[in-house]
Amino acid sequence: MLPLLAGDIPFGLLYGALAPAAGVPASITMAMSTLVFAGSAQFIAIQLIGGGAPALVVFLTALVVNLRHSLYGISISPFLKHLPSKAKGFLAYFLTDEAYAVSIVRFRQEDLRGQAAGGPRHWFYLGAGATLWLGWQLSTAAGIAFGSQAPASWHLDFAIPLTFIALLVPVIKNRVEILAAITAGAVAILLANIPLKLGLVAAMLSGILVGSLAEILLSHRKAGPAGLGEKGETEP
């Protein structure tokens, strides 16, 4: 998590500096980082609040932006299915882009090495999430206290795309994932200006659709006609 914190801390500093400037009290700014704990949703919320948007619009927009977390949950849940519901509910609080990325990579590597699922997995995930949580709280507090003094030439906002690029690249392992990532990126750029950040949802769904279709086509191609393999041998 430490390399990811290097990109995430400027993100928190920027949020802590911008929220009070948008008219959000420092206490609410800090409370959002503790209770919401979702950087993208928090940034969009303060932008809407600063623009005078109704509370319902703020809530629904943040909800749409965070829909990707449901996909993270679906993806990682098989590795944590041995836990009781209360434990999984607690761990869900720490589900972030960074905690998901490092955890899913480790869990998949363990499966490839033939290591059985067990208790240590949820401790690894909790350690990743708690590390990010602590960094986010401290950077938000520092941003509230000192962020307004940072010179504009530092361009702290550029830390946001850098953080997500650092998360994405190590996870992409094959042609299907490359195609899904390119599709989602292209759709996100093309639809960046539509209201309520719905372009993000469209990009997410487009990436899933294209990746799923590519996976199906590739599996059919490998199977060959009438259930035969690539060399014409019957698949077991």
In order, the DSSP letters of 50-111 are HTT--HHHHHHHHHHHTTHHHHHHHHHGGGGTTS-HHHHHHHHTT--HHHHHHHHHHHHHHH
- Whole-number pLDDT of residue 90: 94
The pLDDT value recorded for residue 81 is 86
pTM: 0.65
Walk along the chain (236 residues) and give the pLDDT tens digit of each residue.
888 888 788 888 888 988 887 788 999 999 999 999 988 888 888 877 877 778 887 888 788 878 888 889 999 998 888 889 999 999 999 999 889 989 998 888 887 776 655 557 889 999 999 999 999 999 999 999 886 676 666 665 566 566 667 667 777 888 888 999 999 999 989 998 887 667 877 888 898 899 889 988 888 887 766 555 545 544 44
